[in-house]
Amino acid sequence: MSTIIQLSSIAIAVGSFVMAFWLYRWVKAQKSEHERVEQIGRIIEQGANAFLKREYSILARFSGIMAILILLFIPTPIWKGSIQNIIMAISFLAGAVFSALAGKVGIQVATIANRKTAVAAQRGIRPAFLTGFRGGAVMGMAVVGISLLGVTIVYLLTEDATTILAFSFGASSLALFAKAGGGIFTKTADISADLVGKVELGIPEDDPRNPAVIADNVGDNVGDVAGMGADLFDSNVASLAAALVVALSLDGATGGKNVAMVFCFAALGLFASIIGVSTARMGKKDNPTHALNSSTYVTTALYALLTAAATWIFAFPWRLYAAAIIGLLVGTIIGIASDYYTNDEKRPVRNVADSSQSGAAFTILGGVSYGMLSVLPAMVGIALAAFAAYLVCDPLGEGFAMFGIAMSAVGMLSIVGMIISNDAYGPIVDNARGLVEMAHLGEEALDVTDSLDSAGNTVKAVTKGFAIAAAGLTIIALLGAFMSEVNDAALALGMGEQFLNGFDVMNPHVFFGLLVGAAIPAVFSAMLMLGVERNAQRMIAEIHRQFKTIVGLREGVEGVVPEYDRCIDIATVGALKELIPAGLMAIVSTLAVGFIGGVHAIGGFLVGNIVSGLVLALFMSNAGGLWDNTKKYIEAGNHGGRGSEAHKAAVVGDTVGDPFKDTAGPSINTQITVVSLVSSLMASAFLTMSLF
């Protein structure tokens, strides 16, 4: 049964590639005969590809060094004759390459879909929506297909937990830097373009006179498409890896059934997403938000049915099925809660918009406060999901409680294909809006892309809540994975069976790690935000220079074009310079704590990291989303609309929120995952070589 399911997983993964390819061809076949759109679109495409090339060449070197370190030291020093090290290094590299591939595919299609969507917007909202959505769906299908395929192949070849963790670590480290680098790039350009354009000069968003406007569009692609793709690729792989590690430790007794269940549920999630994606279209009287949500609901319902059928056919324990469904439900509830705090029809946004009339300080205070409040439902939701999964699955026997939690994370991430499709839709229509504005495609087309864009923002808040919650659950499972890695290593070293029973916070080693671990996400976020700020300052200086020295630019004289590529270059160089230190800090602090305090300290370190990381990630993502929509709400004509005092205050809020929600907030997830995986891989070293 087990092998059949794994081969079916591969088949479904291949099916998702076929679907992705079909969608790609469909998008490419759309009309786009508009010279100026093509011309600007190509500049964006070139900028994005140039950034990706430089970023990947740096990350290739980084991954190479990491692979050599793994080859030499992990799981045991290679001079002790370990063959395993070679497999680990290869697996790590495969994870990194697959993750990079997912990002590349996303950029490839997004930079075509944006042009097609812009041109389609002239024909109306329905064709424009379909083009944008199908562009995003290529990425959704490809990312989930690649991750499922990668994990399945690694498992089939090695059947070894540690090797799967190495694959996941490869994916995570690449995601960490891709997310951070892309996040810094996109927000540098976004902030600079907005501040000089909208605030100082009062010219509209996406005005072609603004030298940073192309860089802003490039940023949407490298940050929100490639970066986000790498991020969710990583979450998906990590949840599968964690579940597989726990399943493998159980399957000694039950003959591979638990491993089979993980693959079966993951594959069915992808299958449901394929169907869900293909049903997405706007009805005649429909709006885009509704169209996006309804295909998500189709996917969710289908998943619940298909997994129930599979549970019945393959006689999986119904309790584990319940755990997966609990995850899916709680994910949805958390998504709805995030929506409450960021939707402009709800009280928080309305209140912040209202108090923005008293000045920017109130915009900030309101956003910070509601962002902090929004932490509660998500934390309680994750806590309840974990607790419920435990209570439901504990009767199945020892170790099943942890497996239940892992399956709950798999359930929550089951519809990740759909989530990525919705998420990638956002930057595509955002870009399309820019192209419509810059190529002067007319007011009607602008209205179409505006309403597509606003739907993207609303849906994004929900999917982001999902992603953070899933990361929370996954990391509990990774904590379990770390413990079983330590126990395996202890057994191999003759330190006795069941060396570690848990992490007692009253143990001073654990407490030491706990406090240090809690500080890391704060420091990590701060480093990224300071990176954005430094970089934006450089770009603002460049924009000022261009407006000062290029004659006729400000006045918009026909034929006078700003030097777009200078701005793209500043964003690129700056992002690449700022992306390494933050990621390295996270890895190095893990090593420091592990070599000082040993495995107990690392246990505490991971817990502290998870706890403060979740709080900060939720706070920053939701506060950022709230500010974004507050600005949009005021721009829609409320409280005086554009140019009013309230609007100026809201722009300050939005500028602060940009790196919150698109640079620091979502990177924290990946940071936590990387730290967890480094810990698992170094388990044996920390066990034998710690100072205290």
Kindly state the smallest distance separating residue 232's Cβ from a second copy, in Å.
22
Contact 216, 189 (CB under 8 A): yes
Cβ proximity to a second copy, 451 vs 612, nearer residue:
612
Cβ proximity to a second copy, 420 vs 476, nearer residue:
476
CA quadruple 382, 383, 387, 389: dihedral, nearest 10: 0
Kindly state whether residue 297 participates in binding a second copy, applying the rule CB under 8 A: no
* 3-class DSSP state of 280: coil
Q: Which residue has the tokens 């209202």?
A: 354
Cβ proximity to a second copy, 72 vs 519, nearer residue:
519
Cβ proximity to a second copy, 365 vs 493, nearer residue:
365
CA 653 vs CA 94, 200, 323, 594, 623: distances in Å: 41, 16, 39, 39, 9
CA 488 vs CA 47, 443, 491: distances in Å: 48, 65, 5
Q: Is the dihedral of CA 42, 48, 52, 53 positive or negative?
A: positive
Looking at 32-40, 164-172, 273-281, 502-510, which segment touches a second copy (CB under 8 A)?
502-510
Kindly state whether residue 301 participates in binding a second copy, applying the rule CB under 8 A: no
CA 483 vs CA 50, 249, 323, 364: distances in Å: 42, 11, 22, 42
Site track 579-618 with a second copy (rule: CB under 8 A), x = hit: ------------------x-----xx--xx--xx-xxx--
Kindly state the smallest distance separating residue 643's Cβ from a second copy, in Å.
16
What the block records as the tokens of 659 is 């790196």
Count the neighbouring beta carbons within 10 Å of the beta carbon of residue 558. 5
Q: Which of residues 325-354 bind a second copy (CB under 8 A)?
A: none
One residue of 496, 501, 549, 555 binding a second copy per CB under 8 A: 501
Q: Which of residues 363-392 bind a second copy (CB under 8 A)?
A: 364-366, 368-373, 375-376, 379-380, 382-384, 386-387, 390-391
Q: Which of 183, 41, 176 is nearest to 536 (CA)?
A: 183
Q: Which of residues 508-547 bind a second copy (CB under 8 A)?
A: 508-516, 518-519, 522-523, 525-527, 529-530, 532-533, 536-537, 540
Q: Which of residues 620-679 bind a second copy (CB under 8 A)?
A: 651-652, 655-656, 659
Cβ proximity to a second copy, 180 vs 436, nearer residue:
180
Q: Which of 426, 450, 434, 454 is nearest to 140 (CA)?
A: 426
Three-state secondary structure readout of 604-645: HHHHHHHHHHHHHHHHHHHHHHHHHHHHHHHHCCHHHCCCCH
Kindly state the smallest distance separating residue 481's Cβ from a second copy, in Å.
12
Q: Which of residues 164-203 bind a second copy (CB under 8 A)?
A: 191, 195, 199
Cβ proximity to a second copy, 98 vs 512, nearer residue:
512
Looking at 151-159, 406-414, 479-487, 554-562, which segment touches a second copy (CB under 8 A)?
479-487
Kindly state the smallest distance separating residue 613's Cβ from a second copy, in Å.
10
Q: Give the interface size with a second copy as a residue count (CB under 8 A).
A: 84
Q: Which of residues 400-459 bind a second copy (CB under 8 A)?
A: 401-402, 405
Cβ proximity to a second copy, 110 vs 510, nearer residue:
510
Kindly state whether residue 502 participates in binding a second copy, applying the rule CB under 8 A: yes
Cβ proximity to a second copy, 219 vs 608, nearer residue:
608
- Per-residue buried b or exposed e for 293-307, using 16+ beta carbons within 10 Å of the residue's own CB: bbbbebbbebbbebb
Q: Which of residues 217-236 bind a second copy (CB under 8 A)?
A: none
* 3-class DSSP state of 50: helix
DSSP track, 186-215 = HHHHHHHHIIIIIIII-PPTT-TT-TTHHH
Kindly state the smallest distance separating residue 241's Cβ from a second copy, in Å.
18
Contact 329, 388 (CB under 8 A): no
Report CA Rg, the chain.
24
Cβ proximity to a second copy, 102 vs 382, nearer residue:
382
Name, in order, each residue with C-beta under 8 angstroms of 252's C-beta and a sequence gap of 6 or more.
Answer: none
Kindly state whether residue 360 participates in binding a second copy, applying the rule CB under 8 A: yes
Q: Helix H segments across 255-374?
A: 257-279, 288-314, 318-342, 347-355, 360-373
Q: Which of residues 103-142 bind a second copy (CB under 8 A)?
A: none
